A and B are shown apart, each in its own frame.
Chain A
Amino acid sequence: MIKIEKLHKSYPIGKDSLHVLKGIDLHIKEGEFVSIMGSSGSGKSTLLNIVGLLDEHDEGKYYLNGQLIDKLNEKKAALLRNKFLGFIFQSFNLISYKTALENVALPLYYKGMARKERLEIALEYLDKVGLKDWANHLPNELSGGQKQRVAIARALATKPKVVLADEPTGALDSTTTDSVMDLLKDINDEGMTVFVITHEEEVAEQTKRVVRLKDGLIISDEITAIGKAKAI
């Protein structure tokens, strides 16, 4: 699903440049539940942004669903994001003046779906995350966990191949963290590839594979206990 070879990325800072990713090799197959661990500054967010086509890499090769990603223009990137990827952010990133239902339906709007149809689908997904009764509430009327569940419903609405989650539980307490992680597990059980970035061990433990990053390099890549159990 995702194949990365010798990926480099640096950011210019003044005259110098900051070398963030120093040759990453990573292969994530369809249906995997992977977490990327690392302290801040290890390059995990940069990796996610490149995988999510929100940023461009400098060197190396990146294949998404078998397609080589190289010098995409914005339009193509947008279409690929819409087709293959679903995003979940730490700060939820819901549009504040739209109801939960409209937020979930928005990616379908950019897909060009008719209003009635996409609202139906959006409601379906809200039901799936247990927020059907909150469909017509604005984000500021929802709790943090509810917001993140809306964001997950939004990420799922377009039936993406890969769900990318950047610190999905970073702003949540432990109870809501568990419910969000349960949701991600359910998604993965349905066959979707889930790619989580986190710095919390408890979160990483609940995934099937943990990749640890340090200073722009992968220092370990192992299957977790749950992953082993599932594999058997």
Chain B
Amino acid sequence: MKFLFDSDSWQEIYGSIRKNKLRTGITIIGVLWGIFLLVVLLGAARGMENGFNKLFGDFATNSVFVWTQSTDTPFKGFQKGRQFSLTMNDIEVLKSEYSKEIKLLAPRNQTSNLIIKDFQSGTFQVSGDYPVLDQIQKKKLIYGRFLNENDILSIAKVAVISEDMYKQLFEIDENPIGQYIKINSIGYKVVGVYEPSNTVNFDGDCAYIPFSTFKKVYNTANKVDWMMITANEGTNIEQMEKDILLTLKGLHKVHPDDERAFGSVNLGKEIGKVTGFLTGMQFLTWFVGIATLIAGVFAIGNILLITVKERTKEIGIRRAIGATPKSIRQQIILESVFLTTVAGMLGIIFGSLILFFIDAAVSNNDDIPLINPTVNIPIILIAFVTLIVLGTLIGLIPAHIATVVKPIEALREE
């Protein structure tokens, strides 16, 4: 170990590196590239993971959406292809039967209408909702508030509109709160403006009005277009989804094996697919990164081998004047470790810089799902230590070869 802290060992390495600038440069680039790729790829993968997490962030990830389609199996005297809809009765039944599993249940009715404000107009989605929607899919409000219980109870003609609708229907800087817009010729007071989430979005530009108001205005009676359910912590959502669909099939006289009658999306499952993809990507990142790293280390070994061949004569001279095989070996291994270490450090620095620039470039761009691309320091340290260990091991080969040649043969070499 003494030779590690001996300034002479380093003097020797400095001398041999200075003599072979190009070779040293190329070697360093090989390893630098490996660890650089590892850092950047890991950072990008992490950034994407963060990005996707944010994408789903507004949604409760344990949500199930259910709507009706048409039956594909005749049952109890009904022909196939029968159309039907969910009802408020279903909601009540589900709420009482699955009180343990269901955390929130939001029925919704939806239509599309012309919305007019003074001389401006546009066609938008109109959706009858309960305030609970805000808990399933968080609404970012720029002005005012979201729907509340009072609106439902008083069947108030109020609307929460999207930012785009506000821009289209109102003057710049006009305060929309308390103003009236006409939806299907009926006036509604605007109580809030929300910023559409740039993440997963089922609603598009949608004006939210109280469910009770929607029911009265559009005469939907008991009908419910679709519903959103979020489950309590610890519930098996897939099982709950199956059970709920079975209950609904029973209520609507649908064959239990009917695949088409109800449509449903389990957000948890969909997210699971994406996280699976991300896990796969991370695995790929590790694989590519480590493979590149190993290739880089082999390049160092290879180049040191060439150096040893090139320097056979010099090694012969050194041995003739009294260098022991051990001292020759130590010097070559130290050179290998030194090169890998420097290359590794440079790679980490450049990789981090690139991540920094990527972060600076995309952090303000919501279209790219890449947020805070970082790499864990322990992971980097592990990669770094591995690199040094590999550098030592690979240095053993040329070091051995350097000492295997007899000094007399080495001296004869030209």
Contacts and interface: CB of A to CB of B under 8 A. Distances in A.
Interface residues of B, number: 25
Interface stretch (B41-49, B273-281, B403-411): B403-411
B317 A95 contact: yes
Interface stretch (A47-55, A61-69, A210-218, A224-232): A47-55
B321 A87 contact: yes
A93 B19 contact: no
A74 B325 contact: yes
A93 B323 contact: no
A96 B322 CA distance: 18
Given A54-B407, A55-B408, A115-B8, A106 B320 contact: no
Interface in A100-127: 102, 106-107, 109-111, 115
A45 B319 CA distance: 18
Most A-side CB within 10 Å, residue of B16, B317, B406:
B317
Name A's interface SS. helix
A96 B18 CA distance: 12
A128 to B, nearest CB: 18
A158 B320 CA distance: 13
Contact of A81 (B7, B16, B313, B320): B320
Contact of A74 (B7, B15, B324, B411): B324
Interface string A4-42: 000000000000000000000000000000000000000
A79 B7 contact: no
Given A54-B408, A54-B411, A97 B15 contact: yes
Contacts of A82: 321-322
A107 B318 CA distance: 8
A209 interface: no
B322 A97 contact: no
A55 B406 contact: yes
A141 to B, nearest CB: 15
B327 interface: yes
B314 interface: yes
A75 B325 contact: yes
Nearest to B319: A78
A41 to B, nearest CB: 15
Contacts of B11: 115
Contacts of A79: 322, 324
A107 B8 contact: no
Given A93-B411, A98-B15, A115-B8, A107 B321 contact: yes
A154 interface: yes
B15 A87 contact: no
Nearest to B6: A115
A93 to B, nearest CB: 5
Nearest to A99: B15
A110 B322 contact: yes
Contacts of A86: 321
B76 interface: no
20 contacts: A49-B408, A54-B408, A54-B411, A74-B319, A78-B319, A78-B322, A79-B324, A81-B322, A82-B322, A87-B321, A94-B317, A95-B318, A97-B15, A97-B19, A98-B15, A106-B318, A109-B8, A110-B323, A115-B8, A154-B321
